Structure formats: C-alpha cells, structure tokens
C-alpha cells in the first residue's frame, strides 16, 4: 500500500538535498528532525569546502529555521576555482561543468546534470506513492538558490 500524506516544507527541502547527493559515494546526508539540522557528511575535504560555500547555512520556512551543516572528514589545503565542479566530482548526477566568459568578461558557469528523472519521497498528495519526480537541475536550483553567474542545466538526451 502506498503512503499518502504531507510533509512540512523543511522536510521536502531535506529530501531535495538528499536526492541531489544520494548517488555520490563521498557524501551522506542525515536529517536531525528534533533540532531541524541537515547534516552533510563529506569524505573529500575539497568537496566539503565547496559545499560549505555553496549550500545555505540555514533555510527559513515561516517560523521554522533549518540549519545546514557540512561536516568534512579532513581539512582543506586550497580553495578551488570552480566550487560546483569540486562539489560534484565523482557524483553520477553531474554530466559536466562548463565555464565561459560572458558579457563584459564576466565568468559564467553552466552546471549540467544528467538527463534523468529523479524520484524521491515527498509525500505529497499529487502522487499516489508520495513521490516527487523532477530533474536534478530543478533540485539544484532549489537547494543552492540564486548563484550569481551560475546556471543549472540538464544535459541533452542521448541519441540512440
């Protein structure tokens, strides 16, 4: 029997974070419901630093504030040039990151995710199984928010 119900928006946010990184062997996400903390455990120090800079430290949902903590396994030796490339290194969700020079020499990064529908538990009433089906691109837009000069994209479909 399918679970049908509704979760709070902060639980949906955790589900999005988890869906974005669940295939990355260097990242494990845990949600502390009692304290409203999303813990992102990262075994790669460089990736952990990138995620620390990219993920919001907190997200406010009305009267509820959710903390986001990135917990690295070790320390960082340098600051990488492209944080998204480092943060998603080895993550099967990512196709590639392309840096280009935009108008007036401004740097632009395109973070291109696999052309794959991602399904995760969202316990919404719009799906009999309580799932949400979307693209990595849409999850990244919600999780990382507005990043100046960064565009989240979906890779082209494979031509068979």
Residue 135 has pLDDT above 80, yes or no: yes
Instruction: Give the three-class secondary structure for 43.
Output: coil
The residues spanned by each domain of the chain are 9-154
**17-34: burial string, b at 16+ Cβ within 10 Å, e else:** bbbbbebbebbebebeee
Average pLDDT over residues 77-84: 60
Instruction: Give the three-class secondary structure for 106.
Output: coil
State the distance between the two ends of the chain, measured CA to CA, in whole angstroms.
37
pTM of this structure = 0.66
Transcribe 21-41 into DSSP letters.
Answer: HTT-TTEEEEEETTTTEEEEE
CA angle 133, 134, 136 (to 5 degrees): 135
pLDDT tens for 18-72 read: 999 999 999 999 998 889 999 999 988 889 999 999 999 999 999 999 999 998 8
Contact between 53 and 83 under an 8 Å Cβ cutoff? The reply is yes
- Return the number of other C-beta atoms located less than 10 Å from residue 40's C-beta: 21
Looking at the chain, the number of H-run helices and the number of E-run strands are: 4, 9
- Rounded CA gap, 58 and 38, in Å? 9
């Amino acid at each position: 029997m399918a679970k049908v119900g509704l979760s709070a928006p902060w639980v949906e946010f955790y589900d999005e974070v988890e869906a974005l990184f669940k295939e990355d062997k260097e990242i494990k996400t845990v949600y502390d419901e009692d304290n409203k903390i999303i813990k992102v455990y990262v075994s790669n120090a460089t990736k952990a630093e990138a995620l620390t800079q990219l993920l919001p430290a907190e997200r406010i949902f009305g009267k509820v504030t959710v903390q986001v903590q990135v917990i690295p396994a070790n320390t960082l030796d340098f600051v990488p040039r492209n944080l998204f490339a480092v943060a998603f290194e080895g993550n099967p969700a990512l196709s590639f990151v392309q840096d280009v020079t935009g108008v007036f020499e401004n740097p632009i990064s395109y973070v291109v995710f696999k052309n794959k529908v991602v399904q995760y538990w969202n316990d919404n009433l719009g799906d009999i199984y309580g799932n949400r089906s979307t693209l990595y691109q849409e999850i990244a837009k919600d999780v990382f928010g507005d990043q100046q000069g960064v565009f989240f994209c979906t890779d082209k479909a494979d031509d068979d």
